[in-house]
Chain A
């Protein structure tokens, strides 16, 4: 246990230990809503007997925070959270203990301690790299088509799409949030090629979802992609996005055959 500095009121509180993690949300857990995520983490941390910190007050909440919400049903290998403990959790470099307690499909990839003065987690996640993949049909036609449209989209100043919602349609401009978009053909060993779209969308500013991007590109003649994955979040580089915690760069262009936009 670290030193317990007396507070202004003279009450001694244990020092808190913050940890940031990057984790996956795959398989069945991609259907866990943002609303339910807190309870899933709380119970997993308790099962792993990790010293999670709670807020004060009548209804203490575990100190687990998520910088943003992933749409229900979307998979991710680039989710981030900040966990606060009352004692060092000893997870850095060995996040397996937490992974084991989390539901199948949720795995902690990276865990790092947070020194004092580090900027807020959300500030380290200015953008996300998304991947949209179509089933292995029409790749020879679909990739060049999307590639042409992606270039046109990047060249345009505005790109308005309609988002359909139960409470009424909303028109929004996807262009300001779009930093890069590339259509590629992914060669799958012993299987048919697939069309894959990778895009970098800003996290700050008005929310533009990958589904909005599809609306901007599909124009009624391309089926919605069956899988959407948030690959990673972090700093935007010309070649891709650098993971905010691990530092690895996830490239925008995934295949030698890809046409850079």
Chain B
């Protein structure tokens, strides 16, 4: 064929063990070739190629030879999902502020590109300069949930890095994970070298310093690291507070398969690793220079985290439990971040983020002030909140000044008063109905209500209460407009580690399906109510990985070998592969998800410390089963969950509320 270009291939990487020259610090390094020239020619054949090109506003490119440590930050999902992640943006800036570090980003290639990459020998690449994963020193992966685990294996495999830590060459990247799902990293233990628990801002700098010093030593005078050097580096990392190195710990099991304990295998390794917490959020007013994508992502806005932590005490909520106590960013700092960020990025929307943004002690003046600033402009404000009350509604009104009053979201999470007491979601039906009525009276047209089914102690009566509540809300809605609508979003509950529900049974998909059909049946005459549900099977993989132990790693690897990718995407129905993988590895799904644990059983994450006392979690679990609710310690005083004294922290609400509630 005339005009056919010689097939542009990627030179095979030097074998692991002989890549030291690419890792050498500073200008002693050989710069790895960019994959862009080859990738560019292949992008025409894949969906949404813009997600692989980089080139976003605010990306930071540093010469390879100007850096002593080189990080590849990764979110193991598609670019559109991962790009807005605040954790990655934040660490990107933290590392950019280190004069000797270089940080680029990678996301998971969609299955079509993975195929093309395998065909052409293209490795996992960074977005900024399209350099291969194997040439970086630290591969830092955030795990916001459990459904990116197989993608992590894809990225390693494509990236020329052995899946198993013990098989890695001395110069290979340190595979570091963090994020909420890293609070039970056991199902990934063989694949990761280190785990950073808790807030990443400070520990990242400390890890960088250790890696830098290590590299200066082993690469001095043209040297290269030996296997013993890598072991030494892992031990050094394990000495950093908040860093867990799974290879230095071993689980022991009872004869019946239950875990006995997880203990260090060598002296000098801490038996329990406590999470890191940034006490003063004011010390890290980041991210500032946020990346602006060239293609549509799931959240198109300039986001500012207005506080971290939450002590509402919802018993199902892992995020709330593992991020205590509450630390607020000051109103002035938030304003400054917003104003500077909107001008710098060109975004037309601002998100004031946190686990429950209406709970910021200064939220009303803050929201009013920002709404005034952007009044009459096309910049809009949003504030995710799960609260259901008049105050939240007032806020929503304030924020909607510039735009629409179309959709308002409330999350009662459960239908009956009893069930809400079990999960400790404190809102009364009366409050909820009054708030909904006011909302429709003020001109909101569409209300979205979030619920869960499959909660501990749940009866059919509790499930039906969701439908009854919805019908009652709809009646109110109709009083204020014939076209007013209601959407119910109902998800299956998945018990998570480090929560009072960590001992609970997860409902199997058949049971969830039955409960969802109860709801559908009960509202079927009401056309103005739309019900949105996930596939009940979605929670199965999540549940297995959330509470799995180290033996589950074999299932992860097997499922990945069988082709599991992007678990949790509708386009990728991977559950049959996981069932096959469970069969192949001889593990029983129900033993992990549908079995109630008792107090005596060791849990795979017992050696990872969020500050919560295990005894407090157990008491809270017992209270839950008695439908005993618990107030927010921020407002009513400390009930000794253990976090503040244990980790030497306090609530930081700017000005202390009268009465000095809580620790602090």
Interface residues of A in 44-61 (CB under 8 A from B): 44-47, 49, 54, 58-60
Interface residues of B in 328-361 (CB under 8 A from A): 343-348
Judge whether A46 and B346 touch: CB under 8 Å.
Answer: yes
Judge whether A29 and B41 touch: CB under 8 Å.
Answer: no
Q: Which residue of A lies closest to B300 (CB)?
A: A39
A89 within 8 Å of B by Cβ?
no
Judge whether B2 and A145 touch: CB under 8 Å.
Answer: yes
Query: When chains A and B are docked, how far (Å) is the Cα of A42 from the Cα of B345?
Result: 11
B599 contacts which chain A residues (CB < 8 A)? Answer: none
Judge whether A36 and B4 touch: CB under 8 Å.
Answer: no
Interface residues of A in 190-218 (CB under 8 A from B): 195
A141 within 8 Å of B by Cβ?
yes
A152 contacts which chain B residues (CB < 8 A)? Answer: none
Interface size on A, residues (CB 8 A): 41
A120 within 8 Å of B by Cβ?
no
Judge whether B2 and A221 touch: CB under 8 Å.
Answer: yes
The CB with the most chain A CB atoms within 10 A, among B3, B50, B55, B346, is that of B3
Instruction: Given the known inter-chain contacts A47-B345, A103-B294, A142-B2, please indicate yes or no for A60 contacting B43, CB distance below 8 A.
Output: no
B143 contacts which chain A residues (CB < 8 A)? Answer: none
B378 contacts which chain A residues (CB < 8 A)? Answer: 54, 60, 62
B536 within 8 Å of A by Cβ?
no
Instruction: Given the known inter-chain contacts A32-B294, A32-B295, A60-B378, please indicate yes or no for A222 contacting B5, CB distance below 8 A.
Output: no
B5 contacts which chain A residues (CB < 8 A)? Answer: 134-135, 137, 223, 226
Shortest C-beta distance, B206 to chain A (Å), equals: 34
**Which of the residues B2, B4, B57, B300 comes within 8 Å of A141, measured between beta carbons?**
B2
Query: When chains A and B are docked, how far (Å) is the Cα of A33 from the Cα of B43?
Result: 13
0 or 1 for each of B289-311: is its CB under 8 Å from A? (1 = yes):
00010111000100000000000
Interface residues of B in 374-407 (CB under 8 A from A): 378, 403-404, 406
A47 contacts which chain B residues (CB < 8 A)? Answer: 57, 343-346
Q: Which residue of A lies closest to B48 (CB)?
A: A33
Q: Which residue of A lies closest to B3 (CB)?
A: A134
Instruction: Given the known inter-chain contacts A60-B378, A104-B55, please indicate yes or no for A36 contacting B346, CB distance below 8 A.
Output: no
Interface residues of A in 16-55 (CB under 8 A from B): 27-29, 31-33, 35-36, 39-40, 42-47, 49, 54
Query: When chains A and B are docked, how far (Å) is the Cα of A142 from the Cα of B3?
Result: 7
Instruction: Given the known inter-chain contacts A33-B50, A60-B378, A103-B55, please indicate yes or no for A138 contacting B294, CB distance below 8 A.
Output: no
Query: When chains A and B are docked, how far (Å) is the Cα of A206 from the Cα of B254?
Result: 73
Judge whether B294 and A36 touch: CB under 8 Å.
Answer: yes
Judge whether B346 and A29 touch: CB under 8 Å.
Answer: no
A14 contacts which chain B residues (CB < 8 A)? Answer: none
The CB with the most chain A CB atoms within 10 A, among B43, B295, B346, is that of B346
Query: When chains A and B are docked, how far (Å) is the Cα of A141 from the Cα of B50?
Result: 35
**Which of the residues B1, B44, B50, B346 comes within 8 Å of A32, measured between beta carbons?**
B50
Sorting the interface of chain B by its residue count into under 10, 10 to 19, 20 to 34 or 35 or more gives 20 to 34
**Which of the residues B295, B296, B403 comes within 8 Å of A58, measured between beta carbons?**
B403
Instruction: Given the known inter-chain contacts A31-B43, A103-B55, please indicate yes or no for A72 contacting B49, CB distance below 8 A.
Output: yes
**Which of the residues A29, A73, A101, A137 comes within 8 Å of B55, measured between beta carbons?**
A29
Q: Which residue of A lies closest to B406 (CB)?
A: A58
Shortest C-beta distance, B310 to chain A (Å), equals: 32
Query: When chains A and B are docked, how far (Å) is the Cα of A35 from the Cα of B293?
Result: 13
Instruction: Given the known inter-chain contacts A42-B348, A43-B57, A104-B55, please indicate yes or no for A31 contacting B2, CB distance below 8 A.
Output: no
Judge whether A138 and B3 touch: CB under 8 Å.
Answer: yes
Query: When chains A and B are docked, how far (Å) is the Cα of A28 from the Cα of B48?
Result: 13
B6 within 8 Å of A by Cβ?
yes
A225 within 8 Å of B by Cβ?
yes
Query: When chains A and B are docked, how far (Å) is the Cα of A145 from the Cα of B3?
Result: 11
Judge whether A225 and B3 touch: CB under 8 Å.
Answer: yes
Q: Which residue of B lies closest to A136 (CB)?
A: B5
Instruction: Given the known inter-chain contacts A49-B343, A54-B378, please indicate yes or no for A35 contacting B296, CB distance below 8 A.
Output: yes
B345 contacts which chain A residues (CB < 8 A)? Answer: 43, 47
**Which of the residues A33, A36, A58, A222 comes within 8 Å of B1, measured between beta carbons?**
A222
Query: When chains A and B are docked, how far (Å) is the Cα of A135 from the Cα of B6?
Result: 9
Query: When chains A and B are docked, how far (Å) is the Cα of A26 from the Cα of B427?
Result: 55
Query: When chains A and B are docked, how far (Å) is the Cα of A101 from the Cα of B345?
Result: 10
Query: When chains A and B are docked, how far (Å) is the Cα of A142 from the Cα of B294?
Result: 37
The CB with the most chain B CB atoms within 10 A, among A29, A31, A40, A137, is that of A31
Interface residues of B in 481-538 (CB under 8 A from A): none
Shortest C-beta distance, B7 to chain A (Å), equals: 11
A105 within 8 Å of B by Cβ?
yes
Query: When chains A and B are docked, how far (Å) is the Cα of A150 from the Cα of B406?
Result: 57
Instruction: Given the known inter-chain contacts A28-B55, A137-B5, please indicate yes or no for A36 contacting B50, CB distance below 8 A.
Output: yes
Instruction: Given the known inter-chain contacts A47-B346, A103-B55, please indicate yes or no for A58 contacting B3, CB distance below 8 A.
Output: no
**Which of the residues B6, B43, B296 comes within 8 Å of A137, measured between beta carbons?**
B6
**Which of the residues B3, B294, B406 comes within 8 Å of A40, measured between beta carbons?**
B294
Query: When chains A and B are docked, how far (Å) is the Cα of A226 from the Cα of B45?
Result: 12
Interface residues of B in 45-60 (CB under 8 A from A): 48-50, 52-57
Judge whether B1 and A221 touch: CB under 8 Å.
Answer: yes
Query: When chains A and B are docked, how far (Å) is the Cα of A29 from the Cα of B57?
Result: 12
Instruction: Given the known inter-chain contacts A33-B50, A42-B348, A73-B43, please indicate yes or no for A137 contacting B4, CB distance below 8 A.
Output: yes
A221 contacts which chain B residues (CB < 8 A)? Answer: 1-2
B292 contacts which chain A residues (CB < 8 A)? Answer: 43
Query: When chains A and B are docked, how far (Å) is the Cα of A58 from the Cα of B57?
Result: 28
A29 contacts which chain B residues (CB < 8 A)? Answer: 53, 55, 294
Interface residues of A in 142-200 (CB under 8 A from B): 142, 145, 195
A137 contacts which chain B residues (CB < 8 A)? Answer: 3-6
Judge whether A43 and B55 touch: CB under 8 Å.
Answer: no
The CB with the most chain A CB atoms within 10 A, among B6, B54, B378, is that of B378
Q: Which residue of B lies closest to A48 (CB)?
A: B346
B2 contacts which chain A residues (CB < 8 A)? Answer: 138, 141-142, 145, 221-223
Interface residues of B in 120-148 (CB under 8 A from A): none
Interface residues of A in 213-236 (CB under 8 A from B): 221-223, 225-226
Q: Which residue of A lies closest to B1 (CB)?
A: A223
Q: Which residue of A lies closest to B47 (CB)?
A: A72
Shortest C-beta distance, B342 to chain A (Å), equals: 8
Shortest C-beta distance, A71 to chain B (Å), equals: 9
Query: When chains A and B are docked, how far (Å) is the Cα of A33 from the Cα of B295?
Result: 8
Shortest C-beta distance, A129 to chain B (Å), equals: 21
Judge whether B41 and A226 touch: CB under 8 Å.
Answer: yes
Q: Which residue of A lies closest to B404 (CB)?
A: A58
Shortest C-beta distance, B3 to chain A (Å), equals: 4
Instruction: Given the known inter-chain contacts A60-B378, A72-B49, A226-B5, please indicate yes or no for A28 contacting B54, CB distance below 8 A.
Output: yes
0 or 1 for each of A68-103: is its CB under 8 Å from B? (1 = yes):
000011000000000000000000000000000101
Q: List 12 A-B contacts (CB under 8 A).
A: A28-B55, A29-B53, A31-B49, A36-B296, A40-B294, A59-B403, A105-B55, A137-B3, A137-B6, A223-B2, A223-B4, A223-B5
Identify 4 new A-B residue pairs, CB closer than 8 A, beyond the known A58-B403, A135-B5: A43-B57, A43-B346, A101-B346, A223-B4
Residues of A within 8 A of B (CB): 27-29, 31-33, 35-36, 39-40, 42-47, 49, 54, 58-60, 62, 72-73, 101, 103-105, 134-135, 137-138, 141-142, 145, 195, 221-223, 225-226
